[in-house]
């Protein structure tokens, strides 16, 4: 019976015209099985300007999403509808568990940041004393402040209190209807922002999403060129930064440099000499070959089981090494 069970298909979320994958296991399968690397564009809330080390989600090209759907290896999910259905399907207990987890994560982050700040201050004082620049300041009148141990105890008490409230009866409804809570310390009425129930649920928490009727529809010539090169084992990535449509790698981009700058053309499409020379010079300048590819004329009615054949032509500048 286990052998007859259908293999799980990759879930591709359709969000505002983009095709996104959130599951790490699906991303690993795309890379190892389908030679699809995609483009990571997720960043950290604390470092929104950095663009070197990006994370989930992974964006796929239209051609990649279409090929996976044609091969029945993936399904397209309307992200907005699936997100709404997932929220409606959550029980009050689920909401309370999600919010309690978010609160605990927030408290741990606040404690870690405070401890790191204290360590930096202590290190700065020690360095100043060692260099002789430390000057003793006159003692000030005691203020109503909390020590490090008291602050940690305060956060732990707040976390335990909120967790108990969330796991109890009616806690989920209370947390879902309000966006903030105060600490139990009467002398320090600090407010801690708590995510709302709707924002605590991400695309990765969807449950049994329904397949969308939407199917990616890239230009046919471009899709056939991509499909042809991908079937030969090439890893394809977007070629916008090189002024082409695709960049073709002979293997995993982590191990190989790309070989071709690919541009798809119609069989009878006119190509100016300036574009021909410019493409050849561009490819040579970045140590690649400029490839023109398209469907052979008359192959739309061909009886070949593999479908229409693709012809490729490469342009290399003189002295290309």
CATH level 3 topology of 219-321: Trna Endonuclease; Chain: A, domain 1 (3.40.1350)
Confidence of residue 50 (pLDDT cuts 50, 70, 90): confident
How much is the pLDDT for 133?
Answer: 73
- Predicted confidence at residue 51, as pLDDT, reads 76
CATH topology of domain 1-89+206-216: MutS, DNA mismatch repair protein, domain I (3.40.1170)
**Tens digit of each residue's pLDDT (9 = 90 or more) over 239-256:** 998 889 999 999 999 999
Is the model's pTM score more than 0.95? no
- Mean pLDDT, rounded, for 190-195: 40
Percent of the chain scoring above 90 in pLDDT: 34
Poorest-pLDDT segment among 32-36, 134-138, 142-146, 229-233? 142-146
Which pLDDT does position 7 carry in this prediction?
66
Point out the residues that are catalytic: 249, 257, 288
Give the pLDDT confidence score for residue 191 in this predicted structure: 41
The answer to whether 54 touches 27, Cβ cutoff 8 Å, is no
Whole-number pLDDT of residue 79: 83
| DSSP string for residues in 82-131 | HHHHHHHH--HHHHHHHHHHHHHHHHHHHHHHHHHHHHHHHHHHHHHHHH
| CATH 3.40.1170.20 domain range(s) in the chain | 1-89+206-216
pLDDT average, residue stretch 27-38: 94
Average pLDDT, the chain: 77
> pLDDT per residue over 125-170, tens digit each?
888 888 877 776 655 655 555 555 555 555 555 555 545 554 454 4
How many other β-carbons are positioned within 10 Å of the β-carbon of residue 218?
17
Query: Which residue ranges does the chain devote to CATH 3.40.1350.10?
Result: 219-321
């Amino acid at each position: 019976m286990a052998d007859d069970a259908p293999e799980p298909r990759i879930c591709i979320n359709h969000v505002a015209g983009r095709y996104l994958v959130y599951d790490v296991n699906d991303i690993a399968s795309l890379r190892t099985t389908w030679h699809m690397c995609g483009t990571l564009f997720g960043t950290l809330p604390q470092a929104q300007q950095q663009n070197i080390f990006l994370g989930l989600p992974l964006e796929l090209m239209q051609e990649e999403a279409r090929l996976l759907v044609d091969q029945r290896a993936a399904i397209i999910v309307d992200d907005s509808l699936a997100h709404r259905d997932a929220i409606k399907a959550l029980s009050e207990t689920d909401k309370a568990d999600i919010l309690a987890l978010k609160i605990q994560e927030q408290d741990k982050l606040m404690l870690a940041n405070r401890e790191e700040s204290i360590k930096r201050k202590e290190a700065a004082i020690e360095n100043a004393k060692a260099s002789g620049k430390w000057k003793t300041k006159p003692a000030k009148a005691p203020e109503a402040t909390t020590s490090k141990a008291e602050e940690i105890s305060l956060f732990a008490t707040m976390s335990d209190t909120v967790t108990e409230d969330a796991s109890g009866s009616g806690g989920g409804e209370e947390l879902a209807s309000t966006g903030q809570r105060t600490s139990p310390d009467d002398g320090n009425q600090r407010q801690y922002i708590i995510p709302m129930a709707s924002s605590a649920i991400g695309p990765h928490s969807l449950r049994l999403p329904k397949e969308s009727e939407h199917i990616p529809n890239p230009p046919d010539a471009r899709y056939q060129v991509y499909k042809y090169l991908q079937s030969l084992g090439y890893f394809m990535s977007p070629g916008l930064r090189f002024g082409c449509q695709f960049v073709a790698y002979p293997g995993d981009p982590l191990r190989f440099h790309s070989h071709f700058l690919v541009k798809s053309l119609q069989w009878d499409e006119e190509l100016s000499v300036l574009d021909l020379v410019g493409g050849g010079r561009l490819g040579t300048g970045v140590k690649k070959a400029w490839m023109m590819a398209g469907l052979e004329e008359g192959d739309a009615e061909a009886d070949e089981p593999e479908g229409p054949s693709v012809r490729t032509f490469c342009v290399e500048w003189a002295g290309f090494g």
